[in-house]
Amino acid sequence: MDVPKLPLLGDQFPSLTVQTTQGPMTLPDDFAGQWFVLFSHPADFTPVCTSEFVAFQERYEAFRKLDCALIGLSVDQIFCHIKWIEWIQEHLDVEIQFPVIAANDSLALQLGMLHPGMGTQTVRAVFIVDPQGYVRLLLYYPMEIGRNIDEILRAVKALRISDQQGAVPADWPNNSLIGDRIIIPPPLDVSGAAEAKQSADCYDWWFCHKPLE
C-alpha cells in the first residue's frame, strides 16, 4: 500500500473536503487569505484533550485578532464531537467556537496523525498554515503530553512578524539578549560586514538587530 506523502514545511497544504461541527468545509480553500491552525487530538471525552480544547478556546480571541482561525480534528464521529462540545459548555461553562473535523483513518494517515501501534487514535499534531495555504510550522506531541497553547499563539505572531520584518530570536519576545527586537539578515559582502561592525545594534556583522516596528 502506498503511504501518503506527509505535508512538510513549505508544502502546499493538501486539499481536503471535511465534515465539521460547523458544517462541511474545504481546506485550505475556505480559509484563503488568512492563517489557520489545524490541531488533532486523540479522542473526545478524555481529560488531556478536554483541557486543551478549553485552553484553545480561552485564547480564541487572541488568535482571531491575528486573523488566524482554529480547527480541531480527531477520528471521532461528528455526533461524538457535538456531544463533547455540549458537555464542555454544560460542565465547564466554556463555549467552543471553532469547528472540529470528524476525520476518517485515511485523512488522518495523510496528515501523519495516526500513531503506529496506537490503534485509530490521532496524535497531538499541529499545522500552522499561512494565507497562501502553505505549511509554515509543524508540531507533533505524544498522546500523554498536552500542548502549550501559548507557544502556538506565539508562533503565529512570530511567523507574521518574520514575514514582514526579519527573524525572531529564541524565547521572543522575551529574549535574554535582545528582548523583542528583530534580527536583521546578515550582509552578503565584505563592505556590508565592515559597516555592520560599527553599529551599536550589532554584536558582530552577522548578528545585528533592530526595534520591533
> Could you tell me the mean pLDDT of each successive run of 10 residues in the chain, 213 residues long?
69 92 96 96 92 98 98 91 97 98 76 62 86 95 90 97 95 96 92 87 93 92
pLDDT of residue 1: 41
Residues 93 and 125 in one domain: yes
What's the confidence (pLDDT) of residue 11? 94
Strand intervals (E) in 6-67: 16-20, 23-27, 35-40
Same domain for 68 and 101, yes or no, is yes
| 55 and 123 inside one domain | yes
- For residues 129 and 174, state if they share a domain: no
State residue 75's pLDDT score. 81
207-210/202-204 β-pairing: antiparallel
User: What CATH number corresponds to the domain at position 22?
Assistant: 3.40.30.10
Whether residue 3 is contained in a domain is answered as no
Q: Is 127 helix (H, G, I), strand (E, B) or coil?
A: strand
Cell numbers for 7: 505535508
132 and 194 in a single domain? The answer is no
Tell me, yes or no, whether 154 lies in a domain. no
Task: Assess whether 31 and 125 both reside in one domain.
Answer: yes
| 32 and 137 co-located in one domain | yes
- The whole-model pTM stands at 0.91
124 and 59 in a common domain = yes
73 within some domain: yes
CATH number at residue 197: 3.30.1020.10
Instruction: Domain of residue 24: give its range.
Output: 16-146
Task: Find, among 13, 50, 26, 49, the residue nearest to 135 by Cα.
Answer: 13
Query: What is the spatial distance between Cα 28 and Cα 16, in angstroms, rounded to a whole number?
Result: 7
Catalytic residues: 49
Hey, what amino acid is at 125? A
If asked whether residues 176 and 107 sit together in one domain, one would say no
CB 68, CB 28: distance < 8 Å: no
Q: How many domains does the chain have?
A: 2
189 secondary structure, DSSP code: S
User: How far apart are alpha carbons 38 and 56 in whole angstroms?
Assistant: 11
**C-alpha–C-alpha distance, residues 213 and 198, integer Å:** 22
Q: Is residue 61 part of a domain?
A: yes
* 6 in any annotated domain: no
pLDDT of residue 115: 60
CA gyration radius for the chain?
20
